[in-house]
Structure formats: structure tokens, C-alpha cells
């Protein structure tokens, strides 16, 4: 007789419909981690693939009564370890709740389930002449639920804002299984505390998002693109502050340093000139006004010693350049080194101090630090690349990673612009927030999840 494993008898099998509960070792293994390296992941007891709000409510009710931790998961593209398994936890995947429920063209909103992929929503609303701007580099893989839970940013955020700026209302399952609706469908609404934006960015620690109402905008014109190459990273950083300081609002303003450009070139040869320290990629989607906006960019870039500025007059060429920018994560991974991805965001006038500081930190700690990022937001992704087989180098890499966050705070910035705190930066949240703010955050967590079952040990130090 075949021995029955503990998970064969998992009580949720009795409570949920067929095809929701999985305990196969390979399936559990495949769902144990997000994309952050060096964050611990435990052994889950079971994976629940929810297909309805009721599935989520049943799961949470049982977990709360039995004090079992629950880790909500979207596509596991997160970069902070927040979706990693905990020992004995229920992994609660929302990926199969992937229907676009409504696109209301007149009201310019969409209502979606959390497992809808960002790029799928963007493409669907585009067919109605509408635009969903938040576009993380992971837009083709990450889910709207994950984007809401991390308040994801992206390339267009410099002009349009981040995910939270587009979330009007939510359906959220609370820790005890009750279903709460927050927010509104209307353009305005201030009834009560803003629970919608309490849940946005809460990384699965306050509730599980089962439906999202997002605001849309009319489609923008196809953007025009320019790239500029600089002899020093400081010149590129000064150009960002100088250009935006003149009141321009490009729809994209991204930075890549030389090692990043070289890494991207290895997987997609774009014929970029050699010998440059930094590159800026800028787009304007202002239609007839776009050429003037890019001409103004060229003028500022040249005033900060840009060696070359190329304006692509064909929008298709611009899309190719954007694809290159979206390849940065893959390109860094192709280096064959271990990576610690940082996410500091600083006031734009201090971008120059940040990029110069990265060079110093790399030298001091004897590690490589590459950098790309959403420069227009002051949100950079310095990446510490190192040999993880070398213990001493690994220790130095972690010190460099910490030094980058310390520098971000010193410059008046934040430890995370968009990736979230998760496991990776818990300790650092205590450095950034003052004691009353930490007290308030803990009080909110205790009120909403008194048994600490929702993604415990994430976010709060
Ligand atoms: C190549 C690459 C590029 C990236 N570029 C960007 C970028 O430009 N901007 C950016 O902000 N991020 C970026 N990211 C990080 C990541 O894609 C985002 O954080 C994204 O929002 C995570 O979505 P996900 O569906 O993968 O969520 P997951 O990684 O599965 O989960 C992330 C967090 O959300 C919680 N969660 C997921 N779904 C729900 C739900 N329905 N209810 C409650 N909690 C939930 C999880 O518990 C976890 O805390 C990038 C990642 C990669 C790999």
C-alpha cells in the first residue's frame, strides 16, 4: 500500500474545489522563489492555485484558524524575496485569476483579476484607444496583482506616475477570510480613510488582492526617441537634472552605464559607440511637440559634454531601443556572476552624487557595480556583481550593497523606489523610518492580521 504523505491529507483539499491544491514536490520546488538572489526560501506545505475570490477566502479562513502562514504569489518576478516560500506555508498563487472583467471606455477604467499580465492589459486597452501607463521592465511577465502589491514603477512613470497612481479600487480578502471592497470607480472619491492605497505596496502582508479597478488614459502618440552618450556618468546624471529642471516631461528618461550597455550589446547588437561611460535614452510622446522636446534634450545633453546624440525619427527604431533597455535584467544575468540588485531613489539633483558614489563604493569594496535605472525619477538600480564561490568577495558584495543604501539615504533618498522591502531590505526599513512611523506600520499590521499569517517576516523589521 502506498504511504500517504502529510500533504495528501491536506485539509484544504476537502475545503476547495478540485484542481486547486498541489503538493507535488517538483511543483512546490518551482514555486519556492522569486527573482531575488540571496533571500532565503523555505519548504512550503502546499500550493493553492486560486481561481476565484471564494477560493482565496476559504484558504485564508482556514489558514487563520490554524495559524498557518500564507505567501501570496503573482508571477514571482519580484526582486526582494517577498514571494519566497516560508517553512510550512501555503503558497497562494493568483496567476490563474487572469481575466479582464471589464473595459469601460466611457469612464476610462478597467476591472481585472490579479493574475492578468501587465502587458496583456496594456494591449487589450490599446485596442480601445486607451493607455495603461505603468510599465515595469517585467511588463510581459509580471501580474497586475503583483504590481499593486509592490506599487511597481517602470519606464513611463517619469511622466505618468507609478501603479498606485492608477489604482482606483480593490477587492481584498482579509486575513480572516472576509472580503473587503475599497475605493471607487469614479474619478474622485474621499469617503473614509484611503484603504486602497494602504493595500497598494503592502507586499502581501495586509490582505490578498482579488480584483483591481485601474484608471486608464487616452492613448498617447507614438513616441519619438533619442539616445545620448557621455564621456562620464556624472555628465549623464547632470543632464537628467538639467533637462527636467527646465520643465520638460519626457515619457521615458532611462540611464545605462557602460558595462550595462556592453552586456546588452552581447545579447542584442545595437551598434552603440564604444568608449562611452554612460548613455541616456529619452522618449517624447507629445506628437507634434515631440521633435522640439527632443531638440531641447539634445541641447542640454551637449551642454553637459554629450559626445553623440542620436534622434531616431522612425518610431520603430525607438521601440528597438526600448527593447534594449528592457533587456538590461537579462543582460546582467548573462554575465555569469552573482548579482545583488539595489533600487535606491534620490532627488534628481543628487543623481550625480549617487553615480559618482557608486564608483567609490566599488573601489572600496573590490567588487563590480553596474548601474541602469529610471534616471528621470532618480530611481537607479545599481547591481553588485560578484563571484559567490568566493566567500570573502561575497561578504564584500553585501557590504557594498548596504553602502549603496546608506548613500541613498544620505542623499535624501529612499532604500527602495519600486522593488519593495520584502526580505532583502527589512533591516534597512528601520534605518529609513522614524520610530513613530515604524510604530504606526506595526499597529496597522497587527490590526489587519493579528495572527500574523500574511507573508510574516516580510517588510517590517
Ligand atoms: C527583468 C525584470 C525587470 C523588472 N523591472 C521592474 C520595473 O521596471 N519596475 C518595478 O517596479 N519592478 C520591476 N521588476 C520587479 C517585479 O517584476 C515587480 O516587483 C512586479 O510588480 C512583481 O509582480 P509579480 O506578479 O511577479 O509578483 P510576485 O513577485 O509574485 O510578488 C511580489 C509581491 O507581491 C505580493 N503579491 C503578489 N500578488 C499578490 C496579490 N494578488 N495580493 C497580495 N499580494 C500579492 C507577493 O506576496 C510579494 O510580496 C522587474 C523584475 C524583473 C525580473
What is the Å distance from ligand 1's center to 245 Cα? 31
CATH of domain 7-93: 3.30.43.10
Which of 31, 63, 77 most suits a substitution to test ligand 1, by most atoms within 8 Å of the C-beta? 77
Q: For 429-458, what is the mean pLDDT?
A: 98
Q: Ligand 1 centroid vs 82 CA: distance in angstroms?
A: 9
The CA distances from residue 390 to 192, 361, 393, 397, in Å, are 54, 19, 5, 10
Q: Tell me what percent of the residues of the chain surpass a pLDDT of 70.
A: 98
Contact 278, 236 (CB under 8 A): yes
Residue-wise pLDDT tens digits, 218-269:
999 999 999 999 999 999 999 999 999 999 999 999 999 999 999 998 888 7
Contact 209, 172 (CB under 8 A): yes
DSSP-based three-state secondary structure for 182:
strand
In the predicted structure, residue 8 carries a pLDDT above the cut 80 = no
Domain range summary for the chain, segments of one domain joined by + = 7-93, 100-218, 224-410
Q: Which of 404, 406, 461, 403 is nearest to 435 (CA)?
A: 461
The yes-or-no verdict on residue 35 having pLDDT over 90 is yes
Q: State the Cα–Cα distance between residues 373 and 157, nearest whole angstrom.
A: 12
Domains 100-218 and 224-410 share a fold: no
Distance of CA 420 from the midpoint of ligand 1 (Å): 9
pLDDT exceeds cutoff 90 at 271: no
**Cα separation, 35 vs 21, whole angstroms:** 24
Q: Mean per-residue pLDDT for 431-438?
A: 97
pLDDT of residue 2: 36
1: pLDDT confidence band, cut at 50, 70 and 90? very low
Q: Would the CB of 113 count as within 6 Å of ligand 1?
A: no
Q: Is the CB of 325 under 6 A from ligand 1?
A: no
Query: Which three cell numbers, joined as nine digits, stand for 311?
Result: 534622434
Decide whether any atom of ligand 1 lies within 6 Å of the 208 Cβ: yes
C-alpha dist (Å) from residue 381 to 254, 345, 392 = 11, 9, 23
Q: Quick check: 7 pLDDT over 70? A: no
Question: Which atom of ligand 1 lies at the shortest distance from residue 155's CA?
Answer: 8
Share of the chain above pLDDT 90, in %: 91
The model's pLDDT over 317-336, given as tens digits with 9 standing for 90+, comes to 888 888 888 899 899 999 99
Return the residue whose CA atom lies nearest to atom 33 of ligand 1: 203
- Condensed to tens digits (0 to 9), the pLDDT of residues 199-211 reads 999 999 999 999 9
CA distance 165 to 377: 15
Q: Quick check: 3 pLDDT over 80?
A: no
Mutate to test the pocket of ligand 1, among 74, 383, 455 (most ligand atoms within 8 A of CB): 74
Atom of ligand 1 nearest to the CA of 78: 29
Return the biggest CA–CA distance within the chain: 79
What is the bridge-based pairing of β-strands 278-284 and 368-374? unpaired
Average pLDDT, the chain: 95
Cα 203 to middle of ligand 1, angstroms: 9
SS3 assignment, position 274: coil
Write the DSSP assignment of 334-397 as a string of letters. Answer: TT-SEEEE-B-B--GGGHHHHHHHHHHHHHHHT-EEEEEEEGGGTEEEEEEEE-TT-HHHHHHH
Q: Is the CB of 164 under 6 A from ligand 1?
A: no
Atom of ligand 1 nearest to the CA of 328: 1
Is residue 134 lining ligand 1, measured as CB closer than 6 Å? Answer: no
**Closest residue by CA, ligand 1 atom 50:** 138
Instruction: Give residue 163 CA to ligand 1 midpoint distance, Å.
Output: 11
**Measured between alpha carbons, how far is 149 from 200 in angstroms, rounded to an integer?**
5
Instruction: Tell me the C-alpha to C-alpha distance, in Å, between residue 326 and each of 189, 252, 322, 352, 439.
Output: 36, 12, 6, 23, 38
Which set of grid coordinates corresponds to residue 274?
A: 564604444
CATH number of 100-218: 3.30.465.10
Residue 78 CA to ligand 1 center (angstroms) comes to 4
Residue 5 has pLDDT above 60, yes or no: no
72 lines ligand 1 (CB under 6 A): yes
Phi, psi torsion values for 174, nearest 5 degrees: -80, 170
Residues 374 and 370: their CA atoms lie apart, in Å, by 14
- Residue 4 scores a pLDDT above 50: no
What does R_g of the chain's alpha carbons equal in angstroms? 23
- Collapsing DSSP states into helix, strand and coil, what is residue 262? helix
Q: Give pLDDT tens digits for 97-108.
A: 999 999 999 999
Q: Which residues does 125 contact at the CB level (< 8 Å), separation at least 6?
A: 103, 110, 131, 132, 216
Residue 72 CA: nearest ligand 1 atom is: 47
Kindly state the DSSP code that residue 272 receives in the 8-state scheme. P
Q: Is residue 316 very low, low, confident or very high in pLDDT (cuts 50, 70, 90)? A: confident
The string of pLDDT tens digits covering residues 57-76 is 999 999 999 999 999 999 99
Q: Among candidates 441, 256, 421, which has minimal Cα distance to 331?
A: 256
Q: Among 77-91, 116-130, 273-287, 367-381, which is the least confidently predicted range?
A: 273-287
- For residue 252, the 8-state DSSP code is E
- At residue 300 the predicted structure's pLDDT band, cuts being 50, 70 and 90, is very high
How crowded is residue 8: how many other Cβ atoms within 10 Å of its Cβ?
Answer: 10
Q: Which CATH architecture has domain 224-410?
A: 3-Layer(aba) Sandwich (3.40)
Amino acid at each position: 500500500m502506498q504511504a500517504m504523505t502529510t500533504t495528501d491529507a491536506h485539509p484544504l483539499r476537502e475545503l476547495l474545489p478540485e484542481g486547486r491544491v498541489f503538493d507535488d514536490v517538483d511543483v512546490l520546488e518551482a514555486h519556492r522563489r522569486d527573482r531575488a538572489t540571496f533571500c532565503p526560501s523555505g519548504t512550503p506545505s502546499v500550493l493553492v492555485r486560486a481561481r476565484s475570490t471564494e477560493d482565496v477566502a476559504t484558504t485564508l479562513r482556514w489558514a487563520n484558524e490554524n495559524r498557518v502562514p500564507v505567501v501570496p504569489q503573482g508571477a514571482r518576478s519580484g526582486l526582494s524575496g517577498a514571494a519566497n516560500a516560508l517553512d510550512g506555508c501555503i503558497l497562494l498563487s493568483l496567476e490563474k485569476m487572469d481575466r479582464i472583467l471589464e473595459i469601460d471606455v466611457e469612464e476610462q477604467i478597467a476591472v481585472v483579476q490579479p493574475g492578468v499580465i501587465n502587458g496583456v492589459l496594456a494591449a487589450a486597452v490599446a485596442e480601445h484607444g486607451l493607455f495603461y501607463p505603468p510599465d515595469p521592465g517585467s511588463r510581459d511577465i509580471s501580474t497586475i496583482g503583483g504590481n499593486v502589491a509592490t506599487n511597481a514603477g517602470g519606464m513611463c512613470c517619469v511622466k505618468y506616475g507609478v501603479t498606485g497612481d492608477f489604482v482606483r479600487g480593490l477587492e481584498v480578502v482579509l486575513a480572516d477570510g472576509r472580503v473587503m471592497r475599497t475605493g471607487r470607480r469614479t474619478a474622485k472619491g474621499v469617503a473614509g480613510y484611503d484603504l486602497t492605497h494602504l493595500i497598494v505596496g503592502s507586499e502581501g502582508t495586509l490582505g490578498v488582492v482579488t480584483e483591481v479597478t485601474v484608471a486608464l488614459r487616452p492613448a498617447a502618440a507614438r513616441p519619438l526617441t533619442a539616445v545620448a552618450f557621455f564621456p562620464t556618468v556624472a555628465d549623464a546624471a547632470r543632464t537628467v537634472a538639467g533637462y527636467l529642471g527646465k520643465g520638460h516631461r519626457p515619457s521615458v528618461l532611462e540611464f545605462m552605464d557602460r558595462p550595462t550597455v556592453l552586456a546588452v550589446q552581447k545579447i542584442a547588437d545595437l551598434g552603440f559607440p564604444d568608449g562611452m561611460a554612460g548613455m541616456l535614452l529619452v522618449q517624447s510622446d507629445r506628437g507634434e511637440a515631440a521633435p522640439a522636446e527632443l531638440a531641447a534634450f539634445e541641447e542640454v545633453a551637449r551642454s553637459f559634454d554629450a559626445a553623440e546624440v542620436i534622434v531616431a525619427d522612425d518610431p520603430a527604431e525607438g521601440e528597438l531601443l526600448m527593447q534594449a533597455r528592457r533587456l538590461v535584467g537579462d543582460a546582467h544575468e548573462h554575465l555569469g556572476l552573482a548579482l545583488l540588485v539595489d533600487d535606491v531613489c534620490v532627488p534628481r539633483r543628487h543623481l550625480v552624487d549617487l553615480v559618482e558614489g557608486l564608483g567609490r563604493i566599488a573601489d572600496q569594496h573590490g567588487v563590480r557595480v553596474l548601474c541602469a535605472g529610471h534616471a528621470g525619477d532618480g530611481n537607479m538600480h545599481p547591481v553588485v556583481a560578484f563571484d559567490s564561490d568566493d566567500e570573502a568577495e561575497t561578504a564584500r558584495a553585501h557590504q557594498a550593497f548596504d553602502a549603496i543604501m546608506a548613500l541613498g539615504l544620505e542623499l535624501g533618498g529612499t532604500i527602495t523606489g519600486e522593488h519593495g522591502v520584502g526580505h532583502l531590505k527589512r533591516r534597512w526599513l528601520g534605518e529609513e523610518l522614524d520610530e513613530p512611523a515604524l510604530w504606526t506600520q506595526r499597529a496597522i499590521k497587527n490590526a489587519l492580521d493579528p495572527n500574523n499569517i500574511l507573508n510574516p517576516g516580510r517588510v517590517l523589521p
